[in-house]
Structure 1
Amino acid sequence: MPYQWTHPDPKTRVLSLWPHRSLPRRGFAAMILMAFVLGTVPLYGLIGTVFLWGLLPFILAVVAALWWGLEKSYRDGEILEELTLTPQTAHLRRTDRKGNTQEWDCNSYWARTEIHLSRGPVPFYVTLTGNGRTVEIGSFLSEDERKALYDELVTALDDMRNA
């Protein structure tokens, strides 16, 4: 799962969430190499002819477009959300790919977790409500991960209220 609970001390829980990476950097390099090699296969028969120079820029453009698309996907996925729960406070910090942060604080006793089956931008949309605001959490997770996250958040908030 692309999230993890840690316990820095007995009364604190920290939840870190990040987007799932289905293609690691090593796979990225292999994909670019494979696209280049397979893209140049038709050119082998054209070595020594003028047609090679007519097709080569298009094949290189395809490899460059693939590189750009995969890099953009990696940059867009550099999101980190951290929820810190203590018996007194619930604090959510979201850092986007540009380094901008958004923060939300609430008394953990009044914090409420909700799951919206179909009213959110994604199915099983998970939100935290408290201190007059509602904030999303883990919207980049899959449906099953959001369901599991909701159950874990409810349990963690109940534990903080009873601590």
Structure 2
Amino acid sequence: MHGARPILWFMTDAPETTSNGREPALHFDAVLRPHRSLGPHGFAILMIAIAGISFAAGLFFFLIGAWPIFGFFGLDVLLIYLAFRFSYRDARAFEAIRLQDDALIVRRVDRHGRFEECRFQPNWLRLDLEEPETGPGMLVLTSHGRSVSVGRFLTRDERQELTAALRGALDRLRAPAV
């Protein structure tokens, strides 16, 4: 669930339709997730190590007569645990980008499961990759006076990869049928 890189799925091969053939063809599909470097197994190991060190240090203070300190070491472990849990809760957020024959759909889901969806007509869509010297870059999708930015949490290379893949899928969709 919490891999070392954001999850990116690209469909850039031949378009696919459903079995009934009535749904628009899918030309591109990407799911973008924020980076989380520590997976569940690593989190368990880290928490066991922190709890062990805190218990040993707290026991030392308890044995020399400073018993109130023991509780503060337990409180530290609890606060570290809660900080990681909040971070993992934030990792439930994602952005999904789908390019079909008739629309490019951007769905953004926040950590609470609430979502917002933007639809663009692909023939008029403009992609602008903004990479400032400082601060996070972003890919801005613009059409008919509306715009939405995607991939703020991606690295520069991942944003460039996403832009190239989406631009290629749009070019193939816009190309006249031969």
RMSD over equivalenced CA pairs, Å: 2.2
Distance 1:120 1:132, change over 3 A: farther
3-state SS, counterpart of residue 89 of structure 2: helix
Q: Percent identity?
A: 29
Indicate which of 150, 159, 163 corresponds to 1:150: 163
Structure 1 residue corresponding to 2:72, chosen from 58, 68, 73:
58
CA–CA separation in structure 1 for the residues paired with 2:134 and 2:31: 22
Structure 1 stretches of at least 4 aligned residues deviating more than 3 Å after TM superposition: 43-50
Task: Describe how 1:36-115 pairs up with structure 2 within 5 A.
Answer: 36-46=51-61, 50-51=65-66, 53-115=67-129
Residues 113, 127 of structure 1: 8 Å contact kept? yes
- 5+ unaligned residues in a row in structure 2: which ranges? 18-24
From 31, 38, 42, give the equivalent of 1:23.
Answer: 38
TM-score, length basis structure 1: 0.87
1:140 lines up with 2:146 in the alignment: no
Take 1:136 and 1:71, find their aligned partners in 2: how far apart are those partners? 27
Consecutive unaligned residues of structure 1, counting only runs of 5 or more, are none
Report the TM-score, using the length of structure 2 for normalisation: 0.80
**Structure 1 residue corresponding to 2:10, chosen from 1, 5, 8:** 5
Residues 87 and 161, structure 1, Cα contact 8 Å, conserved in 2: no
Q: Does 1:161 align with 2:174?
A: yes
| Residue 130 (structure 2) aligns with | 116
SS in 2 for 1:126: strand
Aligned length, in residue pairs: 161
- What CA deviation, in whole Å up to 9, does each residue of 1:117-144 have, x standing for no partner? 2289513x21111132110111111122
Report if the CA contact (8 A) 1:85-1:91 is conserved. yes
